[in-house]
Amino acid sequence: MDCCEFREKYSDFADGLLDDESELRARRHLSLCAPCRRFDAAFRTGVRALRDLPPVEVSRSFDDNLGRRLRHELVVRALAVNPAWGAVAAMLVMVTIGLVTWDLAELRAARHAASAVAASAAAPHAILIPPPVEIRIDTTQIFGDISHPFDPVLLVADTTPFADGSTLRFDIPAVWGGR
Amino acid sequence: MTSAVHSSLRAHRASPASPFAELDDSHVVQAFLSGQSRAFDELVARYQARLLNFIYRTIGDRERAEDLVQEVFIRVYRHLHRFDQAKKFSTWAYTIASNLAKNELRNRSRNPLVLFQAIRKHWEADHRPLQFEDSSSRPDDMYRKRHLRALVEQSVEQLPEHHRVVFVLRELEGKTYEEIAEITGCNLGTVKSRLNRARNSFATIIAPHLD
């Protein structure tokens, strides 16, 4: 066996998969050839060092991150299995947005009428600007206790200032389970 | 089921007495498919470190390797019902991991940022202070050991992608040729040929540094 053949069959030799005759020829070559001996020693030392490398440990946040991704997967799967859930959820959100928008429009019309009357009767005074009104709809209520990753629906009301300094107020429909 | 997945993942390490600890992989898979969601945690506990090490040794980036391990479990979770239970779960999991690692390497090869990261990583390894992990060792021994570790890591990284996957599966994960063929989707002859080339390259790279 020459060096070329030894290197060609090296993998089988290292794994002890050569037949008896080839194994004997390889060993004989190894005993006579210093470069191949060095090659063999380098491979075995290297692999030993590789196996001795300290194992990489998962980080502390691994479980939390995986848990979060699995929960997301579960919700996606639930929606995929029963598309009706998705349709119902979308419909509920649309209905609520519609109701709130309609409520706001009515409220604003009433307030504008009231402020016009007040302005004509009273002396001008400083205009108070009410803070933006935010409505957060907790979409988890759509799915019962499932803590799914959908962001809450956020509605920001148009806060046109009123001369009387009053603030906007409205109720979220009871369809959201009392929230 | 959701909360079970989340809370028990966290609690798994704290409570070694998992009801599935005695079962082999195929029974754990069956338990999960029959509705016992905690069986999935057992699969995660069994494979997270192994897959992390495999992917890390293949792509050389620890943080990204962890992301990919999570992706493996997501895919396992998503497709476990389609898994052919006549086959080994570990082979299937490694197949997913191997494909993700290969995709990662392919994507990175197109990204110039990778070169910078590789250079920085090697610089950090070379300039790290000596760690006195073993007080009985002499400093020169420790230095030689650390040098050898860095050397073998770099040697693995220098292997071509196809050779590296096969090499890591064989030398570090102890997979059989048949398992490697299944994981990589190659025939046995290709696996043997790639492994032989990988071993030759590895020995050739490392030999001059060991003299």
- A29 near A36, Cβ under 8 Å? yes
- Single-letter residue type at B140: D
Q: Would you place residue B195 in the very low, low, confident or very high pLDDT band (cuts 50, 70, 90)?
A: very high
State yes or no: pLDDT of B95 exceeds 90.
yes
Establish if B64 touches chain A: CB-CB under 8 angstroms.
no
CA angle A130–A134–A139, rounded 5-degree value: 170
Task: Return d(Cα B148, Cα B163) in angstroms, integer.
Answer: 21
Name which of B39-53, B75-89, B124-138 the model is least confident about.
B124-138
pLDDT tens-place values along chain A, 179 residues long: 889 999 999 999 999 999 999 999 999 999 999 999 999 999 999 999 889 888 888 888 888 888 888 888 777 776 666 666 667 777 787 888 888 888 778 777 877 777 776 666 655 544 455 555 555 555 555 544 444 444 444 444 545 555 555 555 444 443 444 33
Decide if B148 touches A, using CB distance below 8 A. yes
Q: What is the pLDDT of residues B113-166, one digit of tens each?
A: 555 555 455 555 445 544 445 556 666 666 777 788 888 888 898 899 889 999
pLDDT digits (tens, 9 = 90+) for B153-164: 888 988 998 899
Q: What is the pLDDT of residue B196?
A: 94
Q: Is B206 on the interface with A (CB under 8 A)?
A: yes
B99-108: pLDDT as tens digits: 999 999 888 7
Of A67-76, B67-76, B166-175, the least confident: A67-76
Residue B78 to residue A58, Cβ atoms within 8 A: no
∠ Cα B96 B165 B71 (to 5°): 25
Percent of chain B with pLDDT over 70: 75
Size of interface A-B (CB pairs under 8 A): 116
- Measured between beta carbons, the chain A residues lying within 8 angstroms of B202 are 43, 46-47
Confirm if A89 and A169 have CB atoms less than 8 A apart: no
Give the model's pLDDT for residue A136.
57
**What does the pLDDT read at residue B144?**
73
- Residue whose C-alpha is closest to residue A37's, from A13, A20, A19, A16: A13
d(CA A50, CA A55): 10
A46, A65, A67 member nearest B203 (Cβ) = A46
User: Residue A18 in 3-state DSSP?
Assistant: coil
SS (H, E, C) A11-57: HHHHHCCCCHHHHHHHHHHHHHCHHHHHHHHHHHHHHHHHHCCCCCC
Cβ neighbours of B5 in A, within 8 Å? 67, 70-71, 74
- Which one of A14, A38, A73 has the shortest CB-CB distance to B207? A38
CB contact under 8 A, B73 and A39: no
Q: Do B203 and A50 touch (CB under 8 A)?
A: no
CA distance linking residue B102 with residue B162, whole number of Å: 8
Measured CA to CA, the distance from residue B183 to residue B95 in angstroms comes to 4
| CA atoms of A178 and B83, how far apart (whole Å) | 44
Beta bridge partners of A156: A134
Which residues in chain B belong to E strands, given as ranges? none
| CA-derived radius of gyration, chain A | 38
pLDDT at A105: 80
> Given an 8 Å threshold on Cβ–Cβ distance, is A67 in contact with B6?
yes
Quick one: pLDDT at residue B14?
A: 46
